[in-house]
Amino acid sequence: MSMSRQEIQDLCVKSLEEKMVGTEAKNVDNGNGFYQYFFTNFPDLRVYFKGAEKYTAEDVKKSERFDKQGQRILLACHLIANVYTNEEVFKAYVRETVNRHRIYKMDPALWMAFFTVFTGYLGSTGSLTDQQKAAWMALGKEFNAECQEHLKNSNLPYVH
């Protein structure tokens, strides 16, 4: 089953309707909740969060830092979903995101892995249809391709 860019965008945007960004407590929780899921299910990756390497989901839940970080990452996911059909804008946003993460010296394989984590989160706390998941993985594949291309062009470690 092949999906058009527009179908992928519509499915991803739709999957985020229950995970809206915003300033209300519910919206803040939507972002913080991602990190609760992340830290519970992928504890080895906590190493990238200086000072929070041993945080439990309960620690994350109480953390203002992860309230803010949660909004930021959730917003990024909304942005990539909403601009996906504007391919050059999508790719420019990917490059900008990679540039901002340069200081963290991430394993380049994590750019693709993120979409497994993020769809895992969406599925864990709401409804994520198989089709929506497939749409996110298709978007993620293209996101990752531009990440690796940009890392290569920036003379940084990348996945071949």
Q: Where do contacts with a second copy occur on this chain (CB under 8 A)?
A: 13, 20-23, 27, 71-72, 75, 78-79, 82-83, 86, 88-89, 91-93, 95-96, 153
Q: 64-82 vs 25-41: helix axis angle to the nearest 10?
A: 100
Q: 5-15 vs 64-82: helix axis angle to the nearest 10?
A: 150
In whole angstroms, how close is the CB of 44 to a second copy at the nearest point?
A: 28
In whole angstroms, how close is the CB of 2 to a second copy at the nearest point?
A: 24
In whole angstroms, how close is the CB of 90 to a second copy at the nearest point?
A: 9
Nearer of residues 46 and 152 to a second copy, judged by Cβ: 152
Q: Is 111 helix (H, G, I), strand (E, B) or coil?
A: helix
Query: Could you tell me the maximum CA-CA distance found in the chain, to the nearest angstrom?
Result: 44
Query: Does 101 show up as a binding residue in the annotation?
Result: yes
**Annotated binding-site positions for heme:** 101
